Amino acid sequence: MPSVSCKDVGLDCSFEAHGTTNQELMRKFIDHAEPAHDMHYLSADIIYRVQKAIKK
């Protein structure tokens, strides 16, 4: 199952998202990052870093 953690993206946080697809993973990560890291929108840079950090 693909997963990505906040640490992989450079955030000091132990959150780790799991999803069956990359889209589900991104949605779960965004659901966490928006309130937890005050990211009201995710920049292209963050999305790129998340996609590169996804472990299959």
- Conformational region of residue 15, where left means phi above 0, alpha means psi within -120 to 50, and beta covers everything else: beta
Member of 4, 6, 17, 46 binding Zn ion (CB under 5 A): 6
Q: Are 54 and 5 in contact (CB under 8 A)?
A: no
Member of 15, 28, 47, 54 binding Zn ion (CB under 5 A): 15
CB of 52 to Zn ion, least distance (A): 17
* Residues in binding contact with Zn ion, number by CB under 5 A: 4
Q: CA-CA distance, 6 to 33, in Å (whole number)?
A: 8
Name the site residues for Zn ion (rule: CB under 5 A): 6, 13, 15, 36
